[in-house]
Amino acid sequence: MPIFQTSPSQSINLSGHLMTFERPRIMGILNLTPDSFFDGGKYTQLDSAIKRAKQILDEGADIIDIGAYSTRPGAKPIGAAEEIERAVPIIEQIVREYPQAIISIDTFRADVAEACVVAGANIINDVSGGTLDSRMFETVAKLKVPYILMHMRGTPQTMQELTQYDDVVNEVAYFLGERIAQLRELGVKDIILDPGYGFAKTIDQNYDLLLRVNELHYFGLPILGGISRKSMIYKKLHSTADQVLTGTTALNTLLLERGVQILRVHDVKEAKQLVDLFFI
C-alpha cells in the first residue's frame, strides 16, 4: 500500500493521451541557459542537451522540462528571439530521437510557447501565471495543451522585493483561483498548479507554503512542487546548491506526504527512488 494516494480522477490530456496521477510523476529539468543557479552552462550545446535529455528519460522521468530563460533571482533578461533560438532546435531533436517523450517548455512568453509547441513540446510551464504576457492564456487556449500555472509577483529581476503577505498560502491560493477562472472562461481544461517556491517569497514563506501545500487540493487540480536544490534549502543548511541533494529529497518527501502529484527535479534517479519507496 502506498503511504498516500493521489486522486485517480485527476489527469491531463496530452494530445489524446491521458497522463494520470495514481502515482506521482517526475519532471526532469533541462536548462539550456548559461546562468541558471545550479547547472547553468552545462547544456547550452545540442550534443550535451540531448545527452542530458536521454539521461532524464533513462532515469525514469515522465516529463522533460526545458528552460531557455533563467528565472533565478536577478537573472539577466534575454529577448524572445534568443529564447526561441535556444529552445526550438533542442525540442526538435528530442522529438526526432525520442518521439514518445513528454516535453514541457518553461517560458512566460506566448510567442516562445507557441514556437516550442509547434516544434513538439506538449505542455506550457509559465512561471508568471500569465502576468508577464497578456497573450499567454489565449495562446494556451488556441494550442489546446496543458498549462502549468505558477504563482509569482513581479519579474525574475524584481520578485524578491515583493514578499509582503498577510498569509502567503491564502494569497497564493487567491491568485491561483483568479487565474483558473480566467483560463476556464477561455476553455482551458488541463491546468496544473505550482505554488512557486522561491518566487517572490522569503525562506520562511516558502516553508509555510510547503507545509500547507495540501490546502491547494481545494481546486481539484494536479499540483507540482519545484524545490530542487533551491536557496530555501541551501541557505537553511548554510551550504550550496551542489551540496543539498539530501535536503532536496527530504523536502520532496514532505511534498509527497501532502499529495503533490509532480516533482520537478534536477536529480531524477533519486526522485524516482523516493517515489518507488512510497509504493512498497
Q: Which three cell numbers stand for residue 137?
A: 492564456
Active-site residue set: 230, 264
Q: What torsion, rounded to 10 degrees, do the Cα atoms 87, 179, 128, 243 define?
A: -90
Per DSSP, the three-state class of 62 is coil
β strands within the chain, DSSP E = 11-14, 17-20, 25-31, 63-67, 103-106, 123-126, 147-150, 191-194, 224-225, 262-265
Place of cell 494520470: 20
Q: Which three cell numbers stand for residue 151?
A: 504563482
Find out whether 120 and 95 touch, Cβ atoms under 8 Å.
yes
Find out whether 184 and 224 touch, Cβ atoms under 8 Å.
no
Integer Cα distance of 117 and 124 in angstroms: 8
**What secondary structure letter does DSSP report for 217?**
G
The gap from C-alpha 244 to its chain's centroid, in whole angstroms, comes to: 19
Find out whether 96 and 56 touch, Cβ atoms under 8 Å.
no
Q: What are phi and psi of 41, to 5 degrees?
A: 90, -10
